[in-house]
Structure 1
């Protein structure tokens, strides 16, 4: 729809460069108060005027920046009334606006008004205790609205999934939002179950939501939960780990497909696929049981093998479903050329209603030395792509301290830039009769 009036809009948040929309008062990513800064008018509406602000400051009827005229009592950025919403209320802890003559707290007549600049928000009180239920973690005064923002200072509140950690017996996993994304679209599931003979089976599932799809965070959570549940149940019944992994990926796919179905349309006509939404994610998983190492995947999340004795050769146990992998497999590019291309991470396999025919990949290995299985999303392996690089950044005591090692790997990705969500699960693989390298 055409609009005759064009409002000035932020192209991006001035604090974190997150894209903005017309009418936004706070940045959805970092909570920056956009109402505190004057919006620049469209170029065709901006006159070129040379004014001496200091000479005009304090004159009756003139306040704000650039000596823009306004009636007495008008204050705020650019001297425009209502140019970013109501001003902070001093009674609520806000800062009073800089004023001209006759403004409480402003300069006396004849003095130059200081540059008003951005409104500053009160810094968190480091001596204050924890924020109470429903209170902002930053200012500890404002209430948090349904969208997760403080009604007083606008600060975005941390979500439960921004950072997750779990340690369950020998397996541990860590997931982090990263430094650039506004939410964590990764998910994981870990479990330890008993096989019919009483021996343990250790499971780790990692899913990465496809950001360009709808509800990727829900897709990854549903897939991880479904696959973890399916694997644990099948292994407990005595199913071999490799077919159990295949069935778990199918179960995960069905869980993601269910997110896109409209229940009102399920029993209507044959054209129901047109009523499907398109949530999507990738999946990778590993099972350690009875001396076997089983992996399964769809997409570009990976499994690495790192022996405890770093003199041994590490290995990557999965092959990406991606454009780069296809180019390398077809002999059209070498790996360095393919992954340097901007299309490298375009995936060719995923879980979701609009995915191609589902083809779960599974593989079975039987290592003869102890080591660690690294199950991760591309948010980690982008910063340690080759098996040798992954072995270098994995702490040497990862078999004994898997949670600490997973934390260190996530920290490595964040230190490298944290451009994506980061998730990693570690499964130590023990071989009877072998001691770990750190125990020697």
Structure 2
């Protein structure tokens, strides 16, 4: 993510989260700040209220990001807030929750004509461009490591008993390490940020069909409904970001 501004672009976003059909508590959270170019999805994990607290602590930390002076400034502010959130989560785990707690994160930062994706865990960022869907993130999970080493096929991974075990997170006693990918924005790009409650039920072809054929709010609602119709075994959260769209959509929605 460079500081060079070619043609300033802006992301307009909608977000939607649902507790699902099985869980009693929604431990997911999302964050949208169109003016500052910060978008994120967090999927918390922990004991009673622990996961929800962890994801909310990250969300509150992101709220303190100030208007960036450059792409580098935005990236540095984001990373500083995530580190601060990790410290607060670990303190809360000891004093409030009395057990491990943490959260994944999948974030999109935009500045000028540039973007960066940062993530830890198995929440994902996709980009839909020129009728092609591309997963920009790689899951930090035990099962993904086995797939990468050719121990398991992608089909075997779908039913692997430990497929939900993550290897990176903010908190949960895991070392904080964010992966980063960056590039240039194009007018018409559509990004999807989501928790694994979506990708656990919908494959990429179905996700692409929703992103290709509807306005942002309708796409978000269709994706969440698809996950619920597939069983809704987990909380499900989506954020859709359209680059340089004509209107900002209808804002964020929580159900």
TM range (shorter): 0.7 to 0.9
Give the corresponding residue for 2:102. Answer: 280
Distance in 2 between the 1:248 and 1:305 partners? 25
| CA pair 362-252 structure 1, distance change in 2 beyond 3 A | farther
RMSD: 2.5
After TM superposition, the score normalised by the length of structure 1 is 0.49
Give the corresponding residue for 1:207. Answer: 42
Give the corresponding residue for 2:15. Answer: 173
| Residue 373 (structure 1) shift | 0.6
Give the corresponding residue for 1:359. Answer: 177
The 8 Å contact of residues 47 and 99 in structure 2, kept in 1 or not, is answered as no
Distance in 1 between the 2:245 and 2:40 partners? 22
Report the count of equivalent residues: 235
| Residue 320 (structure 1) shift | 0.7
| Residue 210 (structure 1) shift | 1.4
Distance in 1 between the 2:82 and 2:136 partners? 17
Give the corresponding residue for 2:252. Answer: none
Distance in 2 between the 1:179 and 1:414 partners? 7
- Structure 1 gaps of 5+ residues are 1-168, 194-200, 264-274, 433-440
The CA deviation string for residues 325-356 of structure 1, in whole angstroms up to 9 with x for no partner, is 1112223222222232111111111122x422
After TM superposition, the score normalised by the length of structure 2 is 0.82
Give the corresponding residue for 2:207. Answer: 390
The 8 Å contact of residues 242 and 364 in structure 1, kept in 2 or not, is answered as no
The 8 Å contact of residues 260 and 277 in structure 1, kept in 2 or not, is answered as yes
The 8 Å contact of residues 384 and 393 in structure 1, kept in 2 or not, is answered as no
Distance in 2 between the 1:321 and 1:421 partners? 19
Correspondent of 2:80 among 243, 247, 251:
247
Give the corresponding residue for 2:223. Answer: 409
Distance in 2 between the 1:306 and 1:211 partners? 33
Correspondent of 2:63 among 229, 234, 257:
229
Give the corresponding residue for 1:293. Answer: 115
Give the corresponding residue for 2:198. Answer: 380
| Residue 237 (structure 1) shift | 4.1
- Structure 2 counterparts to residues 8-157 of structure 1, below 5 A: none
Distance in 1 between the 2:121 and 2:43 partners? 9
Specify the SS of the correspondent of 1:183: coil
- Higher helix residue share: 2
The CA deviation string for residues 93-150 of structure 1, in whole angstroms up to 9 with x for no partner, is xxxxxxxxxxxxxxxxxxxxxxxxxxxxxxxxxxxxxxxxxxxxxxxxxxxxxxxxxx
The 8 Å contact of residues 242 and 363 in structure 1, kept in 2 or not, is answered as no
The 8 Å contact of residues 288 and 427 in structure 1, kept in 2 or not, is answered as no
The CA deviation string for residues 2-33 of structure 1, in whole angstroms up to 9 with x for no partner, is xxxxxxxxxxxxxxxxxxxxxxxxxxxxxxxx
Correspondent of 2:143 among 300, 311, 324:
324
The 8 Å contact of residues 219 and 256 in structure 1, kept in 2 or not, is answered as yes
| Residue 385 (structure 1) shift | 3.2
- Higher strand residue share: 2
The CA deviation string for residues 54-75 of structure 1, in whole angstroms up to 9 with x for no partner, is xxxxxxxxxxxxxxxxxxxxxx
Correspondent of 1:370 among 174, 188, 194:
188
Structure label with greater radius of gyration: 1
